[in-house]
Every structure is written in structure tokens, then in C-alpha cells.
Amino acid sequence: MGTTVRRDGSWELPEGLGQAIRGTAEEIAALVRSAGDTALSVPGSEWTVGEVAAHLAMANELMADLAAGRERPYGDGTPRSLAAANAQSLAAFTERRAGPLATMITEQAGAFLDALSRTAADGPAPATPLGVMDRSVLASYLLTHMLGHGYDLARAMRRPHMIDPARVSLCMPFMLSVMPRVADPVATARLRARYRIRLRGGAEFAVSLDGGEVRVTPGPPQRRADCTILLGPVAFLLIALGRLDPWRAIARGQVLAWGPRPWLGPRFPALFTAP
């Protein structure tokens, strides 16, 4: 999935990514508008529906600013700092009404795409809460972030979520770029292993760990993997974002592992912290 540079020096997103961002924002907005009570608790979270919607509205605005080239410091990329930044922003932004938040979510997703469409192909890469990213990876980041919280809202309201294999494929540039950054230094410190991760009907990538160094590359590993993990793309994203217990997925047969060191399979999710 690559970026196309136009004749005027600007560029456009990989096919389907802009449409996925708009569509996901609209589906989330529809969920929020249908909420009878935004004080409803979100399962597995300390947030309410209104707080999740407010977070999404502010995050989409932050991403739009980054796409436009404006600096927006937001933590240092560690889970603790991001949690603190989230709490601070929610305390400062007190809107919890469904209508205004739904409108802001879609408007800021549109502002993000508009900002990208005006950006020169050789413009500087934005500095995000999870490191410097080119704009196509930034767009993949925005989609991934919306899908994670959109899933939370759908669960809270007992509605179908919007994660599907096509959208997961558009999340992969961000997921692969951020994995080394969110690797747990304690869990990976003494581990030497080569993983091959295969998503059913989708992407394949390799993860190499060597004494704390983590390398992630698209495609199969150049050398034989110690452990191959096969799972569906939706299960992969939910596990990676901390929304699905990997042991539950293994028990349901959603995750398979084999190779010379198959016991490395269940260890893999614990090597990373959900972004």
C-alpha cells in the first residue's frame, strides 16, 4: 500500500484509506447520536460513552492539526504519559452531549483529510504521540485509533462493531511501524526469537527479537521462523489493541501457532503494550 504523488507535487492516500476514515467516523457518529445516555459505562474501561466520544473528537482534532503541520505535544509516547494526557484533556474539555460530539468527530476527520490533500509530497513528516510518521502512516494511525474506540462504543451499546478485514489491512502500516516502539523492554530484554505472523486472507509480517532489539518487516522472514502464528485479521487487531484476551482467542481456536518453538506463540502478545 503506497502513496501516490500527483503532478503538482501533492499526494494522495493509498486506495481506500480516505474512504475508510470518513466511513468509520460517520459510523461512530451514528453510534454516538443513538446513545440514550452518554453516561453509560464502557465495558472494560473507566470511561463512559460520553468520555470515549469526547476523546475521539479531541483526538481527531489533534490528528487534523498534525496533518496540517501544527505541533501538538501529547505525552512522550509511553502508556503512562498518554493516559495522563488523555485524563488532562478530558478534564479540560467538558462537552459530553451526543450531538455536538458526533459532529466534531466527523468534522475533524474531514479536516484531517482536507489537510492531507493540501500537503506537499516532500513536506516534513509530523511528530505524533508515537513518533515521527509519514502522512500515510499517520492516516493509518487515525483509522486504527477510531476503530479501537468505535469497538468500545459498539460494545457499550450492544451494537455491531465496524472492524472488518478490509479496514484492518489499512491499519497495518501503522501497526507495523509502531510495534518496535511499544515493545515491552522487560519482556523482550533476554528473548531471541523469529516470529512469522500470518493474517488469514491478509497481511504477513516478520518480527525478530534479539536481546531487546525488535525488528518488524513486511512479508515472510528471510530465515526460518521459530514460531508461526496464524489468526484472523479482526482478532489480530483486537488483541493488538488490548480489546481481546489472547488466551480466550487461543481457547476458541482463533489463534494457531506452530514451528520449532511453538510455545513462543502465547508469549507474543505480552511482548507489546497496546498503543
| pLDDT value of position 127 | 87
171 part of a folded domain = no
Q: Give residue 120's pLDDT.
A: 66
CATH number where 33 lies = 1.20.120.450
Same domain? 122 vs 204: no
The reply to whether 21 and 138 lie within a common domain is yes
- Which residues have a Cβ under 8 Å from the Cβ of 179 and sit 6 or more positions away? 207, 214, 216, 272
Share above pLDDT 70 across residues of the chain, in percent, rounded to a whole number:
95
Domain membership of residue 180 (yes or no) is: no
Q: Say if residue 64 is in the same domain as residue 114.
A: yes
Indicate whether 206 and 154 sit together in one domain: no
Mean pLDDT of the chain: 92
Query: Does residue 231 belong to any structural domain of this protein?
Result: yes
pLDDT digits (tens, 9 = 90+) for 227-247: 999 999 999 999 999 999 999
Write down the pTM of the prediction.
Answer: 0.93
> Do 154 and 190 sit in the same domain of this protein?
no
Same domain, 223 and 144: no
Residue 170 lies in a domain: no
Query: Span 213-238, mean pLDDT?
Result: 95
Check residue 12 and give its pLDDT. 76
pLDDT greater than 60 at residue 69: yes
Q: Is the pLDDT of residue 5 over 60?
A: no
Asked if residue 208 belongs to a domain, the reply is yes
pLDDT bin (cut points 50, 70, 90) of residue 121 is low
Domain at 251, CATH number: 3.30.1050.10
| Last residue within a domain, chosen from 107, 132, 164 | 164
Position 100 in a domain: yes
Cα angle: 196, vertex 200, 202; to 5 degrees: 85
Residues 44 and 154 in one domain: yes
Residues β-bridged to residue 230: 198, 256
| Dihedral Cα 211, 216, 220, 221, nearest 10 deg | -30
Residue 146: domain span: 4-164
Domain count within the chain: 2
